[in-house]
Copies of this chain bind each other. A is one copy, B any other.
């Protein structure tokens, strides 16, 4: 039986994404967001939604670039902190001791210690109400050598990304591999 819960944001899993930008004085800033994902394969692009009150919003509007760093479980505390306070009153890199590295192709900083760093050029700004969605073309990805597999891609078992679950405000690791995509369901084919 089904039960109506109204127009809620019931959606799982959500990612944990750390957006990197420079402030107007070129100090590096970061914030954590859970509203985001891949939006296009060609051009490779991702979208991330944030509120206009954030310093990150001002920075992206001005600079038209940003980075996304994906934290591993090892940095769950730092990732959480990046979403707890505003960069208007805090230097989040100084507070956590993490390293801001300038992107190779964009003028925005990423979190050196996080295993995946994605450099994005802003291609669309979508006004939605409480949030603005920034769509960034992915122009570069760097991964930590410790998480590289034999094919040169990131190994998910080493990457250990974190999911956010809104209902219980919890962070979760990735669990067991359940099956292969484009394969496990093929026996339904007539």
Using CB atoms and an 8 Å cutoff, list the residues of chain A in contact with chain B. 1-15, 34-47, 49, 68, 70, 73, 76-85, 90, 92, 95-96, 101, 104, 112, 116-118, 124, 126, 128-131, 133, 135, 137-145, 148-149, 152-156, 159, 161-165, 167-190
- A177 x B185 contact (CB < 8 A): no
Count identical subunits in the complex.
2
**B2–A142 touching, CB < 8 Å:** yes
CB closest residue in chain B, given A104: B4
Q: A12-B156, A84-B186, A141-B8 are in contact. Are A172 and B170 (CB under 8 A)?
A: no
Task: Decide yes or no: A13 and B142 within 8 Å by CB, A174-B174, A185-B81 being known contacts.
Answer: no
- CA distance in complex: A31, B74 (Å): 35
10 contacts between A and B (CB under 8 A): A13-B161, A14-B38, A35-B41, A39-B126, A45-B128, A77-B184, A124-B126, A172-B174, A174-B174, A175-B176
Q: Give A111 to B47 CA distance when docked, in angstroms.
A: 27
The CA of A39 and the CA of B116, in the complex, are separated in Å by 22
Which 3 A-B pairs give the minimum distances between C-beta atoms?
Answer: A80-B185, A81-B185, A173-B175
Known: A49-B38, A176-B173, A189-B84. A135 touches B142 (CB 8 A): no
* A39 in contact with B44 (CB, 8 Å): no
Which residues of the other chain, B, contact A175 by a CB distance below 8 angstroms?
172-176
Partner of A177, one of B78, B152, B171: B171
Q: Which B residues lie within 8 Å of A42 (CB)?
A: 129-130
- Residue contact B84 to A182, C-beta cutoff 8 Å: yes
Query: How many Å lie between the Cα of A149 and that of B167 in the bound state?
Result: 10
